[in-house]
Structure 1
């Protein structure tokens, strides 16, 4: 079968100056003309994505169906194909199901709190004067710019067992020594409370700035008309603001879902300060703490994480597109 012909269209469209400009190169495939220029411009990015994302993903999927270990890498011997044994092992043995449930629950709580907090901050910034809005923006930027490890260390000192500000403040309020020496990280529930505070504190700024930018694009006339029609603030937010912000909310929701399911630094740093790793592991730290060289098992866990993220993202995007088509 001969290759598709490469056509150069010299016929041109007339311009205002009367000259005719040649059409760009295109390839005709089964009667459809495919322009070359856009794909040529996208080629470097596509190649980079294929090398940086596509190749590691393919290798991870292949390793998840083998018993590839560090001895295979050291000796140069090929791994054995084990089928779905790695997937069966992670779901039937060990504490992976509990870690998965903990990670999903934590992801839901973090995402809801960040979205709600970010929207409230965005609405607040639209009502503030220029000076107060600048002050709030600086505070949000400082929280957002702090590295996760540094933020975790600071909050770890605030909740420190012997010298923490929280314990001192609670003892001062209650007028007792009840909270002296109280460890917030030894208990899994209080550990998760501290973790939620840290992640939400650093996650709200991104959502707040994004929502604030989106709120500025809503026509003021529409809000004024709804107010004149007797709509309450909640009704204006639900029936006017939310439809205009649907795409922005979906993007923030997807990004926060991915980020919150992939958290590692904050959890690991808190575990190093006294948390029980066996009862506070999430997918990231659980994957990190697997046996050295168990590449097949870790690859299977990685594939499960990728499938979860893809499924959640696809579900959210699909519902949003369906709602837009119905409007």
Structure 2
């Protein structure tokens, strides 16, 4: 799989702007400000905002935002499809090769840390996995659950198992299917570095470090707005599509809680409280990752 990001013969993308930060920290507003100042194109770097159904629940840009500046890689993936960092990188590379950023900078914005790391460091080249092998392990995940598959992975690739939580079904399946398809553990492929898509030397690297209390308050208010914007209808739409519980789209915060309300298992107020708590916990994990994984080249900025 080649995700080298060679823009024609120009190499890695120059003068990109990367904006990372936890959910609800104001990343999108900052990206729009840079887009207005530079004429640049905003590119999604959030693994949940790629899904077509989840506009309100993932706080995708609204119509006014889309009218302000060009936006790419938002809401273009069917939630029944698997999606990965590798696929995202291929799509970014396609945009670069097509000249999407020839006249103005790319502004990458989101909360998925691995996307930013892949942009700047490259992504390991993985073997192609035949459809039958992919389907075998995805079916096994549904039938057996992630813990059982994690045990199988531990027996065949202890290094990968040690690095993956027993509840992380998607990563467990990925490790098993790579091993099955190639005969080599995923760690073997991960050690072969890929090519970066973004030139670090000319890039502007920004990470938002919010005040925890202010962020918690903002998360609560934002989920209220999500509900007003149709979040419950989006959760119902996912259920009608028959999206498997193991698929990433079903793990979007709020989906499980709101569907429990729809089944009469939770009151709406209880579901909202649970979703807000889960979002705050997720934001804390994101902040920790950015603090520990993004190096000194990143400019730390306060939330406005």
Q: What's the TM-score, normalizing by structure 1? A: 0.23
Higher relative contact order (CA 8 A, sep 6+): 2
Q: Which has the larger radius of gyration?
A: 1
User: Between Structure 1 and Structure 2, which shows a larger proportion of helix residues?
Assistant: 1
